[in-house]
């Protein structure tokens, strides 16, 4: 792996917090993701189950964690099962973790090969009263692919029909929303790499450059700084392409007079950054482009002031929508008489005019996942980290601006992880003219 492992103490602390929430007699099980197939004999690159990584630090397939805090035998209170390595496996795919290395990575003393899971689990469940099982319950998850965890749930229901099953996700989501100092530092490192990639682009972008060439410049910078790569498929969208929120083709030519929207970021140690910047291809904003850009920037700065402990994300969204509506009226995109009704802001009724130009949420949690897990009814709290990403999309003009920073919620004041990433229009123009 390219990154330096986080210390085992991080994962020990995460398990301790989860163990404290589990009731007496409860046993929790978290399993690794599958290695997903492509075609013929191909497979995708392995991506670990975020919850398992959060609790163990193990970034390897066929891994299972069993937590049983109230077990009589201390050896059964945390058991880690990892795929058995072999000389043949090492020749073809590289050696997997030994038991000794797995202990060092996770801080778990009781490490077994995965083929020992059934026997060890049967012994533990003879004593346990309740089984807590994990599943991806993210509100935006819509995958139809049956996961390893889903199959595991079916196996448990068949083999242990008298044990009541409970949901582990709400506990884990609440824990993962608040980041430890080590987690925040991993995201800072991912953001430092993201900034380096963006600064590299400011001296590269010019009329005639292909969107995919811009993407190549970024990945070059990310990899040389020990990132595993992009946090998510990068959006490099010039001109009218930027009006497509999830534009991924990245195959157009950047034209002079157009804007280039960049929604790209690096990851580090399985923690992600997320950044959006919009720059003029020829290095100079037109009067109209600058007016739209400054409006979005004002909304971004306003949003950051709304992110305070105790505030609900939905209330932040409402406040931002009102602010954005004012900006759209000032730009002549929405008429004064088209302002959203009080009913819309109170209960979401109606389809306000501003939605034509600003149609998405302004913020999301970030961490091991780019759109990290969250409990939407939980207010913001210190050491949560969220994005701020307002945008204006004017399809009839082929013009779009989106800007995005990362904010750590603080007790008295927030920390903007992208405070040094150029964002003021004058700064962007100055840096691009210096190429």
**Mean pLDDT score, 353-369:** 96
On the question of pLDDT at 137 being above 90, the answer is no
Sheet of strand 385-388: strand arrangement: 385-388, 405-408, 415-416
What's the pLDDT score for residue 27? 98
- Of 43-47, 323-327, 386-390, 398-402, which gets the smallest average pLDDT? 43-47
Continuous segment of H or E residues that includes residue 214:
helix 211-224
User: Which residue in 62, 389, 405, 429 is the catalytic one?
Assistant: 389
What's the pLDDT score for residue 125? 96
Eight-class DSSP state of 241 = G
| Nearest alpha-carbon partner for 200 in 293, 290, 296, 279 | 279
For residues 198 and 421, give the distance between their C-alpha atoms in angstroms, rounded to a whole number.
Answer: 8
Domains 8-176 and 181-433 share a fold: no
Residue 123: active-site member: no
**Mean pLDDT score, 171-197:** 97
User: Which residue in 189, 195, 258, 263 is the catalytic one?
Assistant: 263
| Nearest alpha-carbon partner for 28 in 132, 178, 139 | 132
Continuous segment of H or E residues that includes residue 9:
helix 8-21
Q: Phi and psi dihedrals of 38, rounded to 5?
A: -110, -95
- Of 95-99, 220-224, 236-240, which gets the smallest average pLDDT? 95-99
Could you tell me the pLDDT band of residue 68, with boundaries at 50, 70 and 90?
very high
What's the pLDDT score for residue 89? 76
**Mean pLDDT score, 148-164:** 93
Query: What is the per-residue pLDDT across 7-25, written as a single tens digit (0 to 9) for each?
Result: 999 999 999 999 999 999 9
What's the pLDDT score for residue 224? 93
User: Which residue in 228, 364, 369, 429 is the catalytic one?
Assistant: 364
pTM > 0.75: yes or no = yes
Residue 371: active-site member: yes
For residues 220 and 235, give the distance between their C-alpha atoms in angstroms, rounded to a whole number.
Answer: 16
Radius of gyration of the chain (CA): 24
**Mean pLDDT score, 309-332:** 97
Residue 119: active-site member: no
State which fold the 8-176 domain adopts.
Answer: Creatine Amidinohydrolase; Chain A, domain 1 (3.40.350)
Query: What is the per-residue pLDDT across 141-153, written as a single tens digit (0 to 9) for each?
Result: 777 788 889 899 9
Query: What is the per-residue pLDDT across 26-53, written as a single tens digit (0 to 9) for each?
Result: 999 999 999 888 899 899 888 999 999 9
User: Which residue in 100, 246, 287, 413 is the catalytic one?
Assistant: 246
Residue 272: active-site member: no
Q: Nearest 5 degrees, angle CA 7-CA 12-CA 53?
A: 75
Residue 220: active-site member: no
Residue 163: active-site member: no
On the question of pLDDT at 395 being above 70, the answer is yes
On the question of pLDDT at 96 being above 70, the answer is yes
User: Which residue in 41, 87, 144, 336 is the catalytic one?
Assistant: 41
Average pLDDT score, the chain:
95
What's the pLDDT score for residue 146? 82
Burial status of residue 272 (CB atoms within 10 A of its CB: 0-12, 13-18, 19 or more): buried
User: Which residue in 15, 96, 176, 371 is the catalytic one?
Assistant: 371
On the question of pLDDT at 387 being above 90, the answer is yes
For residues 421 and 416, give the distance between their C-alpha atoms in angstroms, rounded to a whole number.
Answer: 10
Q: How many Cα atoms sit within 13 Å of 130 on the Cβ side?
A: 12
User: Which residue in 360, 411, 424, 426 is the catalytic one?
Assistant: 360
Residue 271: active-site member: no
What's the pLDDT score for residue 1? 64
Eight-class DSSP state of 47 = -
Percent of the chain with pLDDT over 90: 86
What's the pLDDT score for residue 141? 79
Could you tell me the pLDDT band of residue 435, with boundaries at 50, 70 and 90?
low
Continuous segment of H or E residues that includes residue 191:
helix 181-202
Eight-class DSSP state of 178 = S
User: Which residue in 61, 215, 325, 404 is the catalytic one?
Assistant: 404
User: Which residue in 272, 277, 393, 405 is the catalytic one?
Assistant: 393
Eight-class DSSP state of 65 = E
Supply the CATH classification number for the domain 181-433.
3.90.230.10
For residues 152 and 31, give the distance between their C-alpha atoms in angstroms, rounded to a whole number.
Answer: 8
What's the pLDDT score for residue 86? 78
User: Which residue in 211, 221, 274, 327 is the catalytic one?
Assistant: 274
- Domain segments of the chain as ranges: 8-176, 181-433
């Amino acid at each position: 792996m390219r990154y330096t492992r986080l210390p085992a103490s991080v994962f020990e602390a995460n398990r301790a917090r989860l163990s404290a929430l589990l009731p007496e007699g409860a046993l929790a099980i978290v399993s690794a993701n599958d290695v997903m197939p492509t075609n013929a004999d191909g497979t995708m690159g392995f991506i670990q189950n975020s919850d398992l990584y959060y609790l163990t630090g193990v970034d390897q397939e066929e891994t299972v964690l069993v937590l049983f805090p109230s077990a009589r035998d201390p050896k059964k209170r945390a058991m880690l099962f990892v795929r058995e390595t072999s000389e043949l496996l090492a020749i073809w795919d590289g050696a997997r973790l030994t038991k000794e290395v797995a202990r060092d990575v996770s801080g778990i003393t009781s490490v077994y090969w995965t083929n020992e899971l059934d026997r060890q689990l049967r012994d533990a469940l003879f004593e346990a009263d309740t089984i807590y099982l994990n599943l991806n319950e993210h509100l935006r998850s819509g995958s139809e692919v049956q996961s390893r965890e889903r199959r595991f749930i079916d196996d448990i229901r068949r083999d242990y029909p008298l044990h009541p099953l409970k949901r582990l996700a709400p506990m884990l989501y609440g824990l993962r929303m608040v980041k430890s100092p080590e987690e925040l530092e991993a995201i800072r490192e991912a953001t430092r790499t993201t900034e380096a990639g963006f600064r590299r682009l400011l001296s590269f972008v010019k009329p005639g450059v292909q969107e995919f060439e811009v993407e190549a410049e970024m990945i070059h910078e990310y990899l040389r700084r020990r990132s595993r790569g992009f946090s998510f498929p990068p959006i490099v969208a010039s001109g009218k392409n930027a009006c497509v929120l999830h534009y991924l083709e990245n195959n157009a030519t950047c034209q002079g007079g157009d804007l280039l929207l960049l929604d790209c970021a690096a990851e580090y140690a399985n923690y992600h950054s997320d950044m959006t910047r919009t720059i003029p291809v020829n290095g100079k904003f037109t009067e109209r482009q600058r007016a739209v850009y400054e409006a979005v920037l004002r909304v971004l700065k306003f949003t950051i002031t709304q992110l305070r402990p105790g505030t609900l994300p939905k209330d932040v969204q409402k406040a931002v929508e009102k602010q954005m509506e004012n900006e759209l009226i000032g730009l002549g995109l929405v008429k004064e008489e088209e302002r959203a009704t009080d009913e819309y802001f109170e209960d979401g009724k109606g389809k306000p005019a501003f939605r034509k130009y600003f149609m998405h949420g302004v913020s999301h949690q970030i961490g091991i996942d780019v759109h990290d897990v969250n409990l939407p009814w939980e207010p913001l709290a210190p050491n949560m980290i969220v994005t701020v990403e307002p945008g204006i999309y004017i399809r009839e003009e082929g013009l779009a601006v989106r800007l995005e920073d990362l904010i750590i919620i603080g007790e008295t004041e927030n920390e903007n992880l992208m405070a040094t990433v150029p964002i003021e229009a004058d700064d962007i123009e100055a840096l691009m003219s210096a190429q």
